[in-house]
Structure 1
Amino acid sequence: MDQKADNALHAVRRHAAEGDYASAVSTAAAAIEALDAGPGDRDLLVVMLNELGMLFKYLGRLDEAEHLYERSLSLLSTPPTRAGDLAAVLHNQAGLAHVKRDLGRAERLARLGIAVRTAQPRFDRRALVADEAALAAILIDRGSWDEAERLLESCLDHQRREYGPVHHEVAVTLHNLGSLLFRQGDAAAASIALQESLSIKVTCLGEDHLDLTPTLYNLASCCEAVGDLASVRHLLTWAVSILRPQVQSSQATYAACLRKLAQLPAEIPAGRNGVERVGHDRTGVTNASHPA
């Protein structure tokens, strides 16, 4: 194993977990360049390409992410291929297609990734649960709500038993469940799931992490549905303050936040319950998805 590249991979993941996407991108790019320059470790190169692709997706650099995933797949086309790596790339390609709103392709890739993973006699159950949660998010936008709900409830049960109640994977699944409930017209239940998701994300990631922003947006949509415009403005402004320094203007959540902010009236009276209604704590004491 290339120890320098392995150390770089750990650094990339640490930077991303801390919300320092600029450092994560530069570290990953340098590691890929070094692996390309020598014989390197093909499996590690595949993983690093996948990591950088994920970072580019979060930042709205979608064409660059697609190129990296395609390069990963080309490397994996040469035996021996690790099924887990192939499933991970398919999972991430599905997420990218979801962001691009190519929902049919997203669903096909997500199901193919699950099939590749489960075809092995032994596979990572935690990774499969993440695959199924991602498929559920796609199915929400496809209108397949019954299957999405079954998957999310199963994933949430497994994740809480596996990780405990306060874990990022739990937060991501709660976010998707909240999105589903909102689509189904239950803004009150959606708000409860999204508030719990946001609280866990703040606890796990801090107040300024990019991953908070889809949940902030969706929670703002719930507040808008009940007429709490003061909380809508607060949540969207919080999201924009996180997104503006890091993402391209075309990034989906950033663009959606700006549109919704622009539609709010200039003067908003304090709501009946004010910002407290949303149930988050900016002191931090207490998850691929799209704006609802």
Structure 2
Amino acid sequence: LWLPDRFKEISPVPVHSEQSVSGLLSQALTALEAGDDETARTLAARAEELSTDALALANSALVHGYVDQHAGEMESALQRLGHAAALAADHRDVPEGVSLYLHATMAMATVYRVQGRYTPAEQLLVAAVGRVEERATAEDIVAAYNELGVLFKYSGKFEAAAGFYKRALDRLSGTTSPELATLYHNIAGLAHARGDYAAAEDPARKAVAVRTEALGPDHPDVAADCAALAPILLEIGEAGEAESLLRKALGIFEKAYGADHYEVGIATGNLAAVMHQSGRPEEAKARYERSLAILERALGSQHPELAPVLNNFAQLIRETDPHGAQAALERARLSLVSASVEESHPTLMAVNACLSELKNQK
């Protein structure tokens, strides 16, 4: 099963610029959060036209890059975000410049991660953090540590991921920051990926509790925490609670995002796994197929995040359709190898082991 990680919500970096530019950028992000990409793009472009200093222009390019990313225009997003980072890099002697530089670099790393290009994402963000770590605000550096933890988890470098999550938690020690929920969510996901399900349950439940208190029980971010807790519960024998949480999360996701959203795809794949383990193969098969269709539309046909669903689907059909199972496993293996994950990555190891078993059966 696959636990999607959580990231810092996008927000405009406050800079000393014309009020009209700041207002336009705030309106652009409001439109973006509402799903109105075209209005957000128009507002960000207007802010760029009105910017009269380098930091204001960097902030405008940053928000415009967010719009491109949200619209799936990844190469354009990388260009705009790179421009924002370059402009801000020349002003790392002031707090606004440091914050803009780190935000733009994190956004570029996120684009690379979404594309499954983990190595350049890691190299970019590690270098950026090294340059501004001592001058960045606690909030910004916690977000950067979290992103690095996620990247290292995805590529199978689990010790490095754990180290960055710990550094982020240390920075938040003694606070009631809502970012604690994000870190608990991701720490649980890392423990799950390492197969330490007992260690995963407590932080996963903490994430649900912290976020529910902050946002209420029906918020999509709370649903995401519940959807991440469910696979952990399944592994420790609590299939009934796991299924209940996933069905509730799916209802919230579909209402908030629509039926073809990434979160719906991940939760559907995990619900299929619950059905699979509960001895309901026909229901599981239909859910796996729906999950794969959604994720292919959202991510592309060879993205590494399809690999866990492909692997689970192959386990379901290997007895009745060994050729189909092998094709799914080969596809999963290619997506992981293309993303340069570690050879010790659990999903890659599981895929390789199953492929070997299928070949030996011939």
Compute the TM-score of the two structures, normalised by the length of structure 1: 0.86
CA deviation digits over 1:103-123, x for unaligned, max 9? 122111111122222233679
Amino acid at match of 2:145: L
C-alpha contact 2:233 2:239 (8 A) present in aligned 1: yes
Larger radius of gyration: 2
C-alpha contact 1:19 1:208 (8 A) present in aligned 2: no
Which among 168, 183, 188 is matched to residue 72 of structure 1? 168
Kindly state the Cα deviation for residue 31 of structure 1 after the two structures are TM-superposed. 2.3
- The 2-side partners of 1:248 and 1:228 are apart by 29
Counterpart position of 1:233:
326
C-alpha contact 1:61 1:248 (8 A) present in aligned 2: yes
1:33-112 to 2 correspondences below 5 Å: 33-36=130-133, 38-77=134-173, 79=175, 81-83=176-178, 85-112=179-206
Counterpart position of 1:16:
113
Kindly state the Cα deviation for residue 23 of structure 1 after the two structures are TM-superposed. 1.9
- The 2-side partners of 1:121 and 1:266 are apart by 52
- The 1-side partners of 2:276 and 2:217 are apart by 34
Alignment partner of 1:193 is 2:270 = no
CA deviation digits over 1:178-236, x for unaligned, max 9? 110110111221111111111111111111211010011011111114x2000011111
- The 2-side partners of 1:144 and 1:122 are apart by 24
Which among 132, 136, 142 is matched to residue 230 of structure 2? 136
CA deviation digits over 1:23-64, x for unaligned, max 9? 22122212211221x421211111111111111111111111
Structure 1 pair 124/156, CA: closer, same or farther in 2 (3 Å)? closer
CA deviation digits over 1:133-157, x for unaligned, max 9? 0001111111101111110000011
Counterpart position of 1:274:
none
Structure 1: 4+ residue segments shifted above 4 A: 121-124
Give unmatched runs, 5+ long, in structure 2: 1-12, 14-98
Amino acid at match of 1:228: D
C-alpha contact 1:53 1:68 (8 A) present in aligned 2: yes
CA deviation digits over 1:89-133, x for unaligned, max 9? 011111111122221221111111222222336799221111000
C-alpha contact 1:188 1:222 (8 A) present in aligned 2: no
Alignment partner of 1:26 is 2:123 = yes
- The 2-side partners of 1:147 and 1:47 are apart by 31
Counterpart position of 2:310:
216
Alignment partner of 1:145 is 2:239 = yes
Alignment partner of 1:177 is 2:271 = yes
- The 1-side partners of 2:238 and 2:218 are apart by 26
Counterpart position of 2:21:
none
Amino acid at match of 2:164: L
Counterpart position of 1:273:
none
**SS at the partner of 1:39?**
coil
Matched-pair identity in % = 33
Structure 1 pair 233/112, CA: closer, same or farther in 2 (3 Å)? same
